[in-house]
Amino acid sequence: MTQLRKKRTNQKRRIHSILSAAACILLLAAVVIVISCVTGVLEKNGSDSGQGMAQGEIVDSAKNTTEDEPNGSAQSAAEGKTAGSLYAGVAQALKKIDIPTDSGDQPDTTAQDENPSGSTSHTLSNPQISDLASLDNTTLNWGQGVDLNEKNQPYAALSYQEKYGKYNANFIVPDSGNTVYLTFDEGYENGCTPAILDTLKEKNVKAVFFVTSQFAKQNPELIQRMIDEGHMVGNHSVTHPADGLPSQSIEEQQNEVLGLHNYIKENFGYEMHLFRYPAGKFSEQSLAVVNNCNYKSVFWSFAYLDYDTNNQPDPTEALDKLMNKLHPGAIYLLHAVSTTNTEILGDFIDQARAAGYEFVLFD
């Protein structure tokens, strides 16, 4: 009799366990259905956001300008992570009652975070320009000039931005408010770059470093440091031809861009997408060549004679010049071989911020 009672008690316990598990399954199934609906909405929003970003990157040829739209993919990735976390919580709960789950149905949350380290490496997909040979290849020598508007912006930079913006060329960022974009040209190393990087790190400022093939091959540790510290590595050509890209054939121009691009990609796993013309010499054809290499061309709206290492400008006078030329959307070109630039960089950042300017990484 006692054994019969124990047997019946065990049977009741098993039935109770089965019913409890079934109730949990029904409840969790309802949760999964709700999460699936939410995830579908989030994915749709993310898709719509991505479409808007792609349209924002396309050149508005009617205005001859390029528009920098905020990156909508970051928001959709964050939303995807939230949905993924909820799904993972349900899966963990199911595991606790020994119910198997199909891991193939779980969203890959890591794939949605395309840039977990904050790297500035990415690629562009520019609209391609056909019949390059028919475009004007007359060499133009860029310089921002001295004529300024009421905002202290160079008229020449504004004019060229309007004229050549359709080629993804950037001379100034005219409607960006009180922002300054720091860029450094690195033809060769003169012992200043580590100190420049130290100052930028101390001031929490990111910059673009346009490097040549010679610089990259001779200073791999500096390239890696630039990448690791969140700066942009830009392309300043393989050979830095003194007569500029327009002095070369279309194929040679492409090799100047892609030769260095491929070297950096193969040795550092980094995709460059910004190009600066050697000596500031360009043509309509060369702008189209660089565009078709899926690059943006970055010129400047401020530069001064700072590259002669044997005749460096006075630090006080140089700092005054940098401050007096501040203007909204300024793209500053500084040569990293300059001991003067290295000395005054920190003070320039401090004084520009005190004047109401913000330093932003060009992209």
Catalytic positions, written as ranges: 185, 335
Nearest-angstrom CA–CA distance, 33 and 97: 19
Check residue 312 and report its DSSP letter.
P
Nearest-angstrom CA–CA distance, 315 and 323: 12
- Cβ–Cβ under 8 Å, residues 136 and 285: yes
- Cβ–Cβ under 8 Å, residues 262 and 295: no
- By CB atoms closer than 10 A (0-12, 13-18, 19+), residue 4 is exposed
Distance linking the first and last C-alpha atoms of the chain: 83
Q: At what angle do helices 284-292 and 250-268 cross, to 10 degrees?
A: 40
By C-alpha distance, which of 120, 114, 118, 122 is closest to 81? 114
Nearest-angstrom CA–CA distance, 157 and 170: 9
